[in-house]
């Protein structure tokens, strides 16, 4: 009974206060985004946390000179060759026994560009891309006859010249000059010109013949493709 009386008295007191007090203006709460809420509505408190991500170099601070890359791991994602042009297309009239074609049409690779694209996650890492003509020959579609390739150039890199290193793209040569900007993330080199030469010693080619071959690209974690 005593608790009931106290509760009743409290209710009465509050009721009297509401009747006798002048009308109060509702307080306004400002939210963190600059909007406001009337406190006569459901209370809403807001705040925010800034969220940041910093991309760091792939370096073990306890052993910074050791590259964690395992080039024998086929699933590694630290250093990858992501794109090369999809096709090099050439045209020529019959030229007897020796053919030289100094320009060709370059078709974009899977990144939609006429470039060689390398992905690298470590500033100090050396890398290079080497290109080779598969089997050093072109093959005729009609009978699989081979024609020896004597010349193939990608930009200014000669792939078949005696002593050629066949390197078409590399990291900055001097390690001191490698930076996050020029040696990490996706790095690209445009292929703007190609040239080919091949032999037809027996003059076997005819108008409408089609020859095909492949240019193979290999990515190395060294500056000299060795």
Q: What is the pLDDT of residues 151-193, one digit of tens each?
A: 999 999 999 988 889 999 999 999 999 999 999 999 999 999 9
Q: What pLDDT does 44 receive?
A: 72
* Coil vs helix vs strand at 12: helix
- 163-177 burial by CB neighbour count: b if 16+ within 10 A, else e? eeebbbbbbeeeeee
- The predicted model gives 211-222 an average pLDDT of 97
Residue 9 has pLDDT above 90, yes or no: no
State how far the Cα of 32 lies from the Cα of 30, in Å rounded to an integer: 7
Q: What pLDDT does 16 receive?
A: 35
Residue 34 has pLDDT above 50, yes or no: yes
Q: CA 132, 137, 139 angle in degrees (round to 5)?
A: 130
Number of residues that this document lists for the chain? 226
* Coil vs helix vs strand at 16: helix
Contacts of 3 (CB under 8 A, 6+ apart): none
């Amino acid at each position: 009974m005593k608790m009931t009386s106290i509760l009743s008295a409290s209710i009465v007191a509050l009721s009297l206060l509401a009747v006798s007090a002048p009308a109060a203006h509702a307080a306004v709460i400002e939210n963190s985004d600059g909007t406001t809420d009337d406190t006569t509505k459901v209370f809403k408190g807001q705040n925010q946390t800034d969220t940041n991500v910093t991309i760091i170099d792939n370096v073990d601070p306890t052993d910074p000179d050791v590259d964690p890359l395992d080039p024998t791991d086929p699933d590694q994602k630290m250093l990858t060759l992501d794109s090369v042009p999809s096709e090099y297309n050439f045209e020529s009239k019959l030229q007897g026994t020796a053919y030289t074609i100094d320009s060709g049409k370059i078709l974009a690779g899977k990144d939609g560009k006429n470039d060689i694209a390398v992905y690298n996650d470590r500033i100090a890492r050396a890398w290079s891309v080497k290109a080779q003509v598969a089997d050093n020959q072109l093959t005729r579609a009609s009978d699989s006859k081979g024609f020896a390739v004597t010349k193939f150039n990608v930009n200014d890199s000669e792939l078949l010249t005696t002593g050629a290193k066949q390197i078409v793209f590399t990291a900055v040569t001097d390690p001191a000059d490698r930076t996050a900007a020029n040696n990490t993330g996706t790095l690209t080199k445009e292929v703007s010109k190609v040239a080919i030469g091949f032999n037809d010693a027996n003059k076997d080619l005819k108008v409408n013949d089609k020859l095909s071959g492949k240019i193979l690209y290999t990515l190395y974690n060294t500056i000299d493709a060795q």
